[in-house]
Amino acid sequence: MTSTIGVIGSGTMGSGIAELAALAGFDVILNDISSDALRSAMLRIKAELQKSVEKGETTAIEATETLTHIRPRHAFNDLGAADVIIEAVAEDLPMKKDIFRRLDLIVAPGAILATNTSSLSVSDIAATTNTPDSVVGMHFFNPPTRMKLVEIVRGAQTSDETISKVRELALAMGKTPVFCRDTPGFIVNRVARLFYGEALRLLGEGVAEVPEIDRIVRESCGFRMGPFELMDLIGIDVNYAVTRSVYEQFSREPRFEPHPIQRRMVRAGTLGRKTKKGFYPYD
Amino acid sequence: MAGKPKKGSTPTTDRKASPAATGVSIIGEESLVREYATSCAACGMEVTLLSSDNQSFAGKPPHGVRRTGKPPASTAIALELTNTSRPDKKENLRSLDALLPPSALILSSSVAVTLKTQSAWVRHPERLAGIAALPTFLEGRLVEVILPPRASADSLERLKKFFGALGKETAVVKDSPGMVMPRILTMIINEAWFALADETASATDIDTAMKLGTNYPHGPLAWGERIGLAHVHAVIEGLHRGFREERYCVAPLLRRAASAAHPE
């Protein structure tokens, strides 16, 4: 049985996964190379838990308890005590490979090494370890505490036992797991590319303007958000990076081709809500 | 494929607000004809279903709807609702164009064939407007429309009034293959079929992932079935015909499933 979960990277996803795991009653070791990042992650988790208390989703006692379950640790070797380690650093393949290479030296036999990559190859990452059968993809969605889905990604050498253990773990965290092969973008980031890609093409061809396309998508078929407001929320740079990654990994399959409008916006630094300007202004 | 219209598709518009006994004549594929006929009749419009050599309404017509061969003289608006067969669509449009007075507006589904292409088939293209008609789309609150290039001044008003009576907003878009929502949606469905074909995940997991990971209202594979795979196929084929790009190739597994579901 899993009792201790190590989380590497204390950004939005890492701290969210740590909070989620602690809420589910696991002991969590939250690791980051930056002590400052760890400190602010703990503050962020505390604030999130406070919000849950205010909304009546968690009791004050549970929130305090949850916090004590998370140990922020700067030293990489401390992760050796974890049964399952979930890596959630930036989408940088060399960085992830390096982390897994080092994990291989410190973890206990039988430990599961999961990566929260959204579009990189799990098999590539696994190849840096001596136990590729225990390496798996566990792709959470933002914010991990609220989004129900986890994509469990089977690498070329992932064992059935590993898959079954992370399935149990996802269920224990209250998530709905789906299973996919190690293909570019897995399920969601692949199929959703067309939602953005076709919308950008429609805009580029002048078929309709940004607010009109968003309105049509929301009102005619029941999508909660239009493609442009969603890209502004996600970040045009983030969306563009995923598109490029999926496109390259699919050997430049035309369906995934990044659109020049998006590239221009990334270069201009109009990245959506976070820069107060994207497809819409935010003042 | 033709099913009872889903709950919630019945317009809630006040009957008194709808134009008194607008004569609406409808021809096309049964699933779409049924949805439109039901909605129009529920709003107090006088609905007539037309038939051609290849298309006739086989099932029981919705309550209060008549069935004839030719459009009655009272027809103010005619609907051509064919997506999966260009020859049938062409024949229907030609016959509507020939039989209807020039004052009658023809609204033609333009998700698989551009309005421009259709305009070349008729003698009075100025009264031919495009609409995004796919099965289940009347469940939405908005309908996309395309105005003809030399539309008479009141065309847009009449379109808005017609859809307003059905409780729908309208959005005018430029004439382009697949229009807006059908193009985006069918390409999502197409990609889900590609993912299914290369065994990325099971059909259930693909649909679950898209609903929970991106908040789509339906999983793309189930959504394709709701719309009808023959219609989905027709929209993507129309995109391919229009753009001549590999991007718009129909997923082979989808093509196979569509022809199995709609053997013609």
Report pLDDT digits (tens) over B96-111: 999 999 889 999 999 9
Residue A189 annotated among the catalytic residues of the structure? yes
Residue B19 has pLDDT above 80, yes or no: no
Residue A181 in contact with partner chain B when CB distance is under 8 A: yes
CB atoms within 10 A of CB A245: 21
* Cα–Cα distance, A32 to B196 (Å, whole number): 38
Q: Once rounded to an integer, what is the mean pLDDT over residues A85-92?
A: 95
Nearest-by-CA chain B residue for A197: B184
Percent of chain B surpassing pLDDT 70? 91
Nearest-by-CA chain A residue for B208: A178
pLDDT given for residue B9 in this prediction: 43
Nearest-by-CA chain A residue for B145: A216
**Residue A35 in tokens:** 């002590």
Residue A134 annotated among the catalytic residues of the structure? no
Q: Once rounded to an integer, what is the mean pLDDT over residues A95-99?
A: 97
Residue B17 has pLDDT above 60, yes or no: no
Nearest-by-CA chain A residue for B174: A207
Task: Identify the active-site residue in A52, A189, A239, A245.
Answer: A189
Residue identified by tokens 């795991």 is: A21
* Cα–Cα distance, B3 to B136 (Å, whole number): 10
Residue A220 annotated among the catalytic residues of the structure? no
| Euclidean distance between the first and the last CA atom of chain B, given in angstroms as a whole number | 14
Q: Do A187 and B184 touch (CB under 8 A)?
A: no
Q: Which tops the pLDDT comparison, A48 or B67?
A: A48
Whole-complex ipTM: 0.96
Report pLDDT digits (tens) over A7-37: 999 999 999 999 999 999 999 999 999 999 9
Q: Do A255 and B247 touch (CB under 8 A)?
A: yes
Sign of CA dihedral A8, A149, A144, A233: positive
Residue A253 has pLDDT above 50, yes or no: yes
Residue A194 in contact with partner chain B when CB distance is under 8 A: yes
Report pLDDT digits (tens) over B183-228: 999 999 999 999 999 999 999 999 999 999 999 999 999 999 999 9
**Residue A201 in tokens:** 């093409």
Report pLDDT digits (tens) over A41-83: 999 999 999 999 999 999 999 999 999 999 999 999 999 999 9
Residue A95 has pLDDT above 60, yes or no: yes
Residue A142 annotated among the catalytic residues of the structure? no
pLDDT given for residue A71 in this prediction: 97
Average pLDDT, chain B: 90
Residue A191 in contact with partner chain B when CB distance is under 8 A: yes
CB atoms within 10 A of CB B20: 9
Task: Identify the active-site residue in A118, A123, A134, A239.
Answer: A118
Report pLDDT digits (tens) over A109-118: 999 999 999 9
pLDDT given for residue B21 in this prediction: 55
Residue of B201, B148, B135, B153 lying closest to B174 (CA atoms): B148
pLDDT band (50, 70, 90) for residue B63:
confident
Helix locations, B48-109, DSSP H: 86-99
* Cα–Cα distance, A175 to A86 (Å, whole number): 15
Chain A CB contacts of B214 under 8 Å are 188, 192, 195
Report pLDDT digits (tens) over B135-176: 999 999 999 999 998 887 788 999 999 999 999 999 999 999
Q: Do B173 and A255 touch (CB under 8 A)?
A: no
**Chain B neighbours among A 73-102 (CB < 8 Å)?**
none
* Cα–Cα distance, B185 to B179 (Å, whole number): 11
Report pLDDT digits (tens) over A202-238: 999 999 999 999 999 999 999 999 999 999 999 999 9
pLDDT given for residue A66 in this prediction: 95
Residue B13 has pLDDT above 70, yes or no: no
